[in-house]
Chain A
Amino acid sequence: MNTKINLAYNGEKYVLEYNRMAVKLLEQNGFMLDEFLKKPMTNIELAFSGAFIKNHSKVGQEKIDKIYDSCKDKAKLVATLQKMIQETYESLLSDKPSDGDEGNTSWEVEDLSPKTSQK
């Protein structure tokens, strides 16, 4: 499986996914997989920003934090990020042939930024 998160924030579309370099950079910044598996909420913000490295490396941390804050259903988000990180090494271990796009997670987040009412 090749899980991705598709999200939209302020009309812009983002595709969040990991590559091995992103995971390496995460670990250089103090991310620990064991800790993330045991206590996911402590590392979630770091893991979330790591998911931007592959496709949106120029997005600033401040914006990433805002996007993270606007995300609904954090529990599912954590589970998906965990799965995506696991996939970066499972693809090196698994002998089974590809099962296509089955299980691709689509994550739709609408523009949740506060809207000022016009008078």
Chain B
Amino acid sequence: MGSRGLVSKDESKVEDTSLTYFFEKLCPMYMSYGMTYDEFWYKSPYRAKFYLEAYKRKVKQQDEYMWVQGMYIYEALCKVSPVLHAFSKKGTKPLPYSEKPYLRDDENLESEEEKKRKEENERLLVKLHFKKWVKDTQKRFAKKQK
């Protein structure tokens, strides 16, 4: 909470709480989180909470993004290192770079369309298996009857 200090002659400090001071101090910080001036001062005070939450998520996302980028750079360096070696044999080639991005196979990052397609494929596969099983059973049954 913000507080203004009133210093008297004997230097003892009397403090009173000023919300205005506190708000004015924090307003630029929240504006840097994407909140507008009007939102901060005139709209529901509760909104600020969500801006703070969103900002934290954004920072986390950025951190993850930078981490993955670092991984790519690290991998690229590792893969090319055989060529960079001072005593490498003639004709040495760099190792192949990853064919696909690291997160391509991450199920959480699959699009809805991809998920639906996968489900549909699985359903068709089950249907085919079932049809085959029915046919085989019918054949066996027919043989027995003969």
Residues of A within 8 A of B36 (CB): none
Segment of B5-13, B46-54, B91-99 engaged in the interface with chain A: B46-54
User: B56: nearest residue on chain A (CB-CB)?
Assistant: A95
Tell me, yes or no, whether B61 is within 8 Å of chain A by CB. Answer: no
Chain B residue with the shortest CB-CB distance to A35: B16
List 5 other contacts, CB 8 Å, given A54-B42, A98-B53. A27-B20, A88-B45, A92-B26, A92-B45, A98-B49
Q: Which residues of A contact B20 (CB under 8 A)?
A: 23-24, 27-28
**CB-defined contacts of B26 to chain A, threshold 8 Å:** 92
Q: Indicate if the CB atoms of A89 and B46 lie closer than 8 Å.
A: no
Tell which of A23, A34, A92 has the most Cβ of chain B within 10 Å.
Answer: A92
Interface, chain B (partner A; CB < 8 A): 1, 16-20, 22-23, 26, 30, 40-50, 52-53
List residues of chain B with CB within 8 A of the CB of A85.
Answer: 19
Query: What is the interface of chain A mostly: helix, strand, loop, or mixed?
Result: helix
Assuming A24-B23, A92-B26, A98-B49, is B43 touching A19 (CB within 8 A)?
yes
Q: Say whether B19 contacts A17, CB under 8 Å.
A: no
Chain A 35-82 residues near chain B, CB threshold 8 A: 54
Compute how far the CA of A33 lies from the CA of B1 in the bound complex, rounded to whole angstroms.
11
| A91 close to chain B: CB less than 8 A | yes
Determine the residue in chain A with the shortest Cβ distance to B1: A89
B44 A89 Cβ-Cβ under 8 A: no
Residues of A near any B CB (own CB < 8 A)? 1-2, 17-21, 23-24, 27-28, 32-34, 54, 85, 87-89, 91-92, 94-95, 97-98
Nearest B residue to A17 via CB reads B44
Q: With the chains together, A89 CA to B23 CA distance in Å?
A: 8
User: What are 17 A-B pairs at a CB distance below 8 A?
Assistant: A2-B46, A17-B44, A18-B45, A23-B23, A24-B23, A24-B41, A28-B20, A32-B16, A32-B17, A54-B42, A87-B46, A91-B46, A91-B49, A92-B22, A94-B49, A95-B52, A97-B53
- Closest 3 A-B residue pairs measured CB to CB? A88-B45, A2-B46, A21-B41
B19 A23 Cβ-Cβ under 8 A: yes
A107 to B48, CA, bound (A): 25
Residue from B40, B42, B44 in contact with A2 in the complex, judged by beta carbons closer than 8 Å: B44
